[in-house]
Amino acid sequence: KQAQFEVHIMTSTILNSGDNAWMLTSTALVYMMTPALAFFYGGLVENKNILNQLFLSIVCMGIVTVQWCLFGYSFTFGPGNNAFGSFQFSALRYSFKFYDETNNSTISPLTFVSYQSAFAVITPALIS
């Protein structure tokens, strides 16, 4: 049995363009941290390993972004039990059309998805 949740169609009066602009700016800044981190780690290794270190961090951007869009967002923020979410929002289903009024957010759901994706990308890049 699927969990029932209530969604409402998004209207322009709910969203704030300033909040969205700031969140997208913050998202871009966090996404720029991953290549910067790659160059930082490249400076810590020997010359023959710099390209490999850069490659590890840059590949994280592609792989983790795809994983986040397919199932990561749904596991993290989807309705579910106390451990993790569900496949309710897998592949960003409903993110384009609906807005959840329970969180009283003034940013669009896709802005929130991309902002959280930026942190999901930089986390494994910190480990590499």
Residue 106 exposure: Cα atoms within 13 Å on the Cβ side: 9
How far is Cα 98 from Cα 9, in angstroms, rounded to an integer? 5
Q: What's the confidence (pLDDT) of residue 2?
A: 54
Q: Is residue 108 included in any domain, yes or no?
A: yes
Q: Is residue 121 included in any domain, yes or no?
A: yes
Q: What's the confidence (pLDDT) of residue 79?
A: 76
Q: Is residue 1 included in any domain, yes or no?
A: no
The answer to whether the pTM exceeds 0.75 is yes
Q: Considering its fold, how many domains does the chain have in total?
A: 1
Each residue's pLDDT expressed in tens, for the chain with a length of 128 residues: 555 555 555 554 577 889 999 999 999 999 999 999 999 999 999 999 999 999 999 998 999 999 999 999 888 887 777 777 778 778 887 765 555 555 567 888 889 899 999 999 999 999 87
Q: What's the confidence (pLDDT) of residue 76?
A: 85
Q: Is residue 52 included in any domain, yes or no?
A: yes
Q: Is residue 3 included in any domain, yes or no?
A: no
Q: Is residue 61 included in any domain, yes or no?
A: yes
Q: Which domain holds residue 74?
A: 8-127
Q: Is residue 2 included in any domain, yes or no?
A: no
Long-range contacts of residues 104-109, Cβ cutoff 8 Å, at least 24 apart:
106/14, 106/15, 106/16, 106/19, 106/20, 107/15, 107/16, 107/19, 107/20, 107/23, 108/10, 108/15, 108/20, 109/10
